[in-house]
Structure 1
């Protein structure tokens, strides 16, 4: 009975809407070229006095609109790029089928999308779709994306209002980190890419694969209930009616990396395509546990491991290269195919300053350092991506579509760390540490969907999809060496027992598979558009990790110890020394877990539009269950957590004039813990010198959203919007530091509550005949209330943190601009883009480990494209022209206001990237 009042209110409102409904008439509008008599596909047909609601014509140049029966005269405006706009009056005596002839203005218009579907690639199509939907949303179209300097979905989305990037790959929407922002690919969830977070690595998707990106700022009943900052939907390219072929070859120079010295570790022939896992993995038949074997048996298996402890100094790092090919063709009159792929090799060399401080005085630049390191890091990236889109239309009322992609992503990273660990040895004892990591990920997705128009008012839509994520981290090697006073060499530090950082080898594998299905029925009843449906998803994950260290037994002679510790690491772990060294396993019961997540939902949504007022009501019931099985030192661990929730949705719009509209929305949602976040597995992060652990007691966060937005549309391709929003978050999930002397442990936990208040401004304007501009800005205030008890040592409650602080990952302000110029003959395209974020809380600290903020960093990019002929083009792109440093500072005085004089935790410069691309299009 708990939610009876919600059902009553919802059904009552639906009844009121139905009772007040107006009669409607359906009009069909055919748009065609007056000179050639050809149908114009993708023309915009907009009802001016109904809030700018409109549709686009299909392949036959026909659009359908439902307009209210009224004594007033309504006006339709028909527009198509390169043609003069046409206004058509609609009265009660107008015929239901209208023909509109359009006259060309002499502008050459490229052919647009075809099929019996709406055009999606143009800016006009995007804005029309955003204005039609009841949700508050924004986005970018392929027409705009292809003119930007962006080459990945991550960079594209950073141009959207209220959106920024974390670590250059993960989305922060309205100040809320990636865990609050699910990513959809063509209406279905994207495959997981990260083991430790809910984020989707948007660097995977090439920008050229995108038709549209949409960021929904308010949820709806027919979308996932797991919503915080926004839902990101990426619509990928679709097949076309005519054969197409597009080939690109790109080369890039990265300042500070290309043609400069670099590092590498052990290499294998299969690394060029990302297939080096087998050569680095544990041998077939390797025992499940070494602790029960004899010394001779352990030695035998130690000798079976390849010696990959090698650091190579490269005299020069080559430029990055990328190739991409896309091919589309009709396979008949009712079947179309689009397929393609890309391959890239790139490199990044960084010099990173890393510090940690002992807090004695609450003041900047007044505390001694615990360590001071300088990392020399080179990462080799290999990415292979393939996709296919298949569309079958057996009739005008039925359409089936297949979307699939396969991606292989490899990062081969070598870190040479030099500096001082002052709390371990002192300022006169230098360290030289090594981290050699190979990480391979395979992502696969397949989606099948159908749309069936059963009658004039009834449409059935369904989608079924499967995803797979394979993540392998074979042979992550870590070695520490130290040069003691009076010694002439760096000596390998040998632990008394197995550790994850001294003479260590770490292996892990993750397998995650998911199945998603949803079906929705769209109908109209007394002028109300109804959507009802079901949604289901099942995820399963298996993870294991094993780690070992080489130790020197007490029986070894002092001469051997003296000789061996002074050896270079590539020789120290060769087979000639394994007769004395012992490989010891330190794997814990928590290093293995299995997890499952089951989700089921039912939803109902209704939309109704009057002359000026539109109203959308929705209700969604979603039940999710997470099941985790693992173990601790004391025995097996089983966690079962159900998350049932009823969620109401309300969206209202009011038309102030033919070009002005006001929107209001309220909704409720949740944010579930990720599977990794509830697993007790402990992971050592070499780069950050911390331990990372899950928390089986995590609770889901519950959110309330309130939005208000004003929109002005000077024309079909222009928009000015101002919006305000408020969010209340109960039990927000964040990371906390559990105090530790040398290596703090970062653990997931729930804060009691948080509040978020923001203001957004967006403008898409035609500044001149050939110049367009996109400008957006956001100001966001957030506050987390930790209550009277906060996390302290080992997770116990103690007054070790400030009660109030910003939300983790939130920036107080964000500014974006994008200027686009196209010459009159369309042979030149020039674009420039910039972005600036405010200081972002990156790491939640305590009184002994202050919080760390990512400092503001301006970004400026340029793009220039020149057509060299009918089929060939050349483009030059410059990314990050200003090359400002990445700086992370700690809040040394614990006042929550980060300043430039605060202590630096780490700092590095990534370098500007200059690239040249040659393309052929047929």
Structure 2
């Protein structure tokens, strides 16, 4: 089998996959032929993947006495691969959505993928085999909804560990491979428009901001003044009126009603071209896109304070999110002989513009409000701007029996949140209206956050195939990553003259008048620095990892293969906050063995057994003692500098039956023991009525379960000629059962409350409670009909996830309340695609219907006597989108 060029429409599993030599075994095997194999859609798709390791797909590799007709089967590890066709069939606009169709995967929050119920901290995200920094301060891993599918060639999920992957591997590794240029040049444009039944042309809230907001970029309106940066760094307050009046006021403050929230839309373009020059083939591919979407959430948000479900706060707020994503990719490939060099550049800019209006009651002011109306009216305006850029060079060198892969990358992420404004008005019966005296319990605050993270990564991998009667390959490699983050959050409170209230007449004014230049100069309104009120105003963080591995793959007996390796990894992780707040200094090294044995006991069946040890380091956001406002849940998070690494021991057994090309049934059982798992723990801070989330290590946990997956194609030509002649049914289903149990007792664990002494683990965790984020049941099912001779597909997609804990129950006055639980429920989507040709161009018309069940988002606590407290519950609309693309 010849190596696929870098410029085929999809590379045939290029040389870096898990156990690269094994992957070439099946793709061209003619022994197993499914019905309709001559049809294009029935042929096994060549999938482009660039992942850690080195290998060679230039030779046909045969397991003695056995045929291996499926790529997923051929690798010695447990993998799932989403090809470009799989992604297109799902109809998802980003790779996070497409990954929800993979067995055992669920997406939690804003694009964070959980593998078999393990949180995102137990997974690693790679781009073309290289790590990425995260633009989200609450995470170390990248939110995968940043990656639009138009730049993705494939997504591989490896669930069993192998030594060529980074040691932070609990649930699995998700490797995204960007598209490569095709053999034939092309130019493609696409666009779509959609509406949301809860949001589009309905009442929502927004604010002016800047003139370039529609594109997701600030035009200078939100530029942070130098005096704010200086005061934030020095911890000083600001009383000079000439400085305060320089702050942006009305454009970032005035929230107004919009009774016709706009429709969602997106545009994109891509191109590819190849050039032959002597012995070199040079390919170029580029892509770019812009999307603008809206979502309005009418949220019920309650905070429990009593063991019987008594409330500290009871509120309703309406949040309108306007999300704008701009993306671009430029890739250059060079091929000479069997050598391939890839130069890939990816840019993603993701902005969320948010306006919130809320009405709340609090325990001290009566629930319901003591005057027959809600005690407080709140308003927030936010602008969260995230950016990711990475530049990578990968050389895949083939010297016959020896393969060499060299990788290097620089990546940078930024997150800017200037002018996070919050106002709280108190109902005043004297004037029968809400007033803001700039003194508790009312008030006005403003925050400025800035994060920058740089990552340098390099790797060298070598694989040598011995000329022996049985296939034997030995590989080794070295990898280095150096991550450095700086982060600041400067938080200020507006206060009246002499830190007292403003007069009644001023307190009745709307927010921009309240903080007008006139009031600031006339009444002596100042900014009090409260950046260090809880935690640190700024911190630096770094993580340096050196790793080396040795791995061997061999056929021991006829049909019996083994892949065995060990990785040595040493890491230094630092978090250095400003001020007197404690930091983190972790310095650990590990030997991480892994072994997988595969018995191909029949031509179309095999059994795998796997065992390994892996780790999970605390993420920067879990360590950093700095407050962050989560724009999705409206809750504050703060890190814990006392966290330590988690260690995982993994085992899995899997039976696989590949009864026809591209068709399979697999059954698996898995078990994990986790030492010192990190759990999110909610709490109510002293003197507060709002929830915060911190982190702590539980002593240990166990996770076990099983999964089943089936893929079946049924030709419909037996129903007659004409319409059914080239049609087939597509049936794809998977189910994962997962059970996890925390093991707790009298052990002392770090308190999630910054500065508090260690506490007994039984105070924070129930023995036998599930891990945060773990659903007992995950179900995916796709039912479709498609044409094997042309582009014509209709697919109905079902997705179900059972309840999962989002936060351990808050501890209030020494009593731990019930855990906070999310109920994802069942969603049904439909995707229709139809291709046609017109005037020499290839067109594709696509229709999507999402969340046809209109499943609500529900996050709540259950108390005795059927008392339910909704921490964050709202309606999610049905979404309908029509798109058209043209390829020339």
TM-score normalised over the length of structure 2? 0.87
Q: Name which of 850, 856, 863 aligns with 1:879.
A: 850
Alpha-carbon separation, structure 1, partners of 2:9 and 2:208: 58
Deviation at 1:236, TM superposition (A): 1.8
Alpha-carbon separation, structure 2, partners of 1:287 and 1:320: 36
Match of residue 15 from structure 1: none
Residues 482-518 of structure 1: CA deviation (Å, up to 9, x unaligned): 113343211115236xx9x930000010000001111
Match of residue 474 from structure 2: 530
Deviation at 1:812, TM superposition (A): 0.6
- Higher mean alpha-carbon deviation, 202-211 vs 657-666, is at 202-211
Shift of the 126–249 alpha-carbon distance from structure 1 to 2, 3 Å rule, reads: farther
Q: Is the 8 A contact 1:56 1:118 kept in 2?
A: no
Shift of the 53–688 alpha-carbon distance from structure 1 to 2, 3 Å rule, reads: closer
Shift of the 919–346 alpha-carbon distance from structure 1 to 2, 3 Å rule, reads: same
Match of residue 461 from structure 1: 405
Alpha-carbon separation, structure 1, partners of 2:739 and 2:268: 42
Deviation at 1:351, TM superposition (A): 0.6
Where 1:754 maps in the other structure, the secondary structure is strand
Match of residue 606 from structure 1: 552
Q: Is the 8 A contact 1:608 1:614 kept in 2?
A: yes
Matches within 5 A, 1:306-455: 306-307=248-249, 308-333=252-277, 334-361=281-308, 367-393=309-335, 395-429=336-370, 430=374, 431-454=376-399
Alpha-carbon separation, structure 2, partners of 1:287 and 1:757: 49
Deviation at 1:199, TM superposition (A): 3.2
Shift of the 860–684 alpha-carbon distance from structure 1 to 2, 3 Å rule, reads: closer
Deviation at 1:716, TM superposition (A): 1.9
Where 2:240 maps in the other structure, the secondary structure is helix
Shift of the 42–412 alpha-carbon distance from structure 1 to 2, 3 Å rule, reads: closer
Deviation at 1:203, TM superposition (A): 1.2
Match of residue 446 from structure 2: 505
Alpha-carbon separation, structure 1, partners of 2:37 and 2:713: 17
Alpha-carbon separation, structure 1, partners of 2:165 and 2:729: 36
Match of residue 788 from structure 1: 746
Q: Is the 8 A contact 1:57 1:118 kept in 2?
A: no
Deviation at 1:768, TM superposition (A): 3.5
Gaps of 5+ in 1: 1-27, 32-38, 45-51, 64-74, 85-104, 120-124, 362-366, 894-898
Where 2:380 maps in the other structure, the secondary structure is strand
Shift of the 760–118 alpha-carbon distance from structure 1 to 2, 3 Å rule, reads: farther
Alpha-carbon separation, structure 2, partners of 1:291 and 1:328: 48
Alpha-carbon separation, structure 2, partners of 1:710 and 1:572: 68
Match of residue 603 from structure 2: 658
Match of residue 873 from structure 2: 907
Alpha-carbon separation, structure 2, partners of 1:126 and 1:691: 51
Shift of the 286–131 alpha-carbon distance from structure 1 to 2, 3 Å rule, reads: same
Where 2:91 maps in the other structure, the secondary structure is coil
Alpha-carbon separation, structure 2, partners of 1:151 and 1:81: 31
Q: Is the 8 A contact 1:476 1:507 kept in 2?
A: yes
- Residue 774 of structure 1 pairs with residue 715 of structure 2: no
Alpha-carbon separation, structure 1, partners of 2:235 and 2:585: 36
Alpha-carbon separation, structure 1, partners of 2:702 and 2:41: 51
Q: Is the 8 A contact 1:43 1:79 kept in 2?
A: no
Alpha-carbon separation, structure 1, partners of 2:804 and 2:353: 29
Q: Is the 8 A contact 1:739 1:848 kept in 2?
A: no
Match of residue 667 from structure 2: 722
Residues 35-68 of structure 1: CA deviation (Å, up to 9, x unaligned): xxxx999899xxxxxxx9773799xxxx7xxxxx
Q: Is the 8 A contact 2:307 2:817 kept in 1?
A: no
Match of residue 890 from structure 1: 861
Where 1:257 maps in the other structure, the secondary structure is coil
Alpha-carbon separation, structure 1, partners of 2:235 and 2:621: 32
- Alignment length (residue pairs): 822
Match of residue 759 from structure 2: 797
Shift of the 704–294 alpha-carbon distance from structure 1 to 2, 3 Å rule, reads: closer
- Residue 750 of structure 1 pairs with residue 726 of structure 2: no
Alpha-carbon separation, structure 1, partners of 2:883 and 2:497: 58
Alpha-carbon separation, structure 1, partners of 2:95 and 2:709: 20
Deviation at 1:149, TM superposition (A): 2.5
Deviation at 1:903, TM superposition (A): 3.4
Shift of the 856–901 alpha-carbon distance from structure 1 to 2, 3 Å rule, reads: farther
Deviation at 1:193, TM superposition (A): 2.6
Alpha-carbon separation, structure 2, partners of 1:194 and 1:672: 17
- Residue 595 of structure 1 pairs with residue 514 of structure 2: no
Match of residue 827 from structure 2: 859
Deviation at 1:200, TM superposition (A): 1.6
Shift of the 286–353 alpha-carbon distance from structure 1 to 2, 3 Å rule, reads: closer
Match of residue 565 from structure 2: 618
Q: Is the 8 A contact 1:479 1:493 kept in 2?
A: no
- Higher mean alpha-carbon deviation, 846-855 vs 403-412, is at 846-855
- Rg larger for: 1
TM-score normalised over the length of structure 1? 0.84
Q: Is the 8 A contact 1:761 1:776 kept in 2?
A: yes
Alpha-carbon separation, structure 2, partners of 1:602 and 1:685: 37
Q: Is the 8 A contact 1:399 1:451 kept in 2?
A: yes
Match of residue 545 from structure 1: 489
Shift of the 495–684 alpha-carbon distance from structure 1 to 2, 3 Å rule, reads: farther
Alpha-carbon separation, structure 2, partners of 1:177 and 1:445: 25
Alpha-carbon separation, structure 2, partners of 1:436 and 1:554: 27
Shift of the 127–289 alpha-carbon distance from structure 1 to 2, 3 Å rule, reads: farther
Shift of the 591–795 alpha-carbon distance from structure 1 to 2, 3 Å rule, reads: same
Deviation at 1:81, TM superposition (A): 9.8
Shift of the 665–750 alpha-carbon distance from structure 1 to 2, 3 Å rule, reads: same
Where 1:301 maps in the other structure, the secondary structure is helix
Deviation at 1:676, TM superposition (A): 2.3
- Residue 495 of structure 1 pairs with residue 436 of structure 2: no
Gaps of 5+ in 2: 14-20, 50-55, 60-66, 717-727
- Residue 242 of structure 1 pairs with residue 184 of structure 2: yes
Deviation at 1:112, TM superposition (A): 7.7
Where 1:135 maps in the other structure, the secondary structure is coil
Alpha-carbon separation, structure 1, partners of 2:44 and 2:381: 50
Q: Name which of 519, 522, 534 aligns with 1:577.
A: 519
Deviation at 1:277, TM superposition (A): 6.8
Residues 21-45 of structure 1: CA deviation (Å, up to 9, x unaligned): xxxxxxx6899xxxxxxx999899x
Deviation at 1:647, TM superposition (A): 0.8
Alpha-carbon separation, structure 1, partners of 2:271 and 2:846: 21
Deviation at 1:260, TM superposition (A): 1.2
- Higher mean alpha-carbon deviation, 407-416 vs 785-794, is at 785-794
Match of residue 163 from structure 1: 105
Match of residue 719 from structure 2: none
CA RMSD of aligned residues (A): 3.2
Where 2:536 maps in the other structure, the secondary structure is helix
Residues 210-242 of structure 1: CA deviation (Å, up to 9, x unaligned): 222111111111000001111111122111111
Deviation at 1:873, TM superposition (A): 2.4
Match of residue 10 from structure 1: none
Shift of the 749–828 alpha-carbon distance from structure 1 to 2, 3 Å rule, reads: same
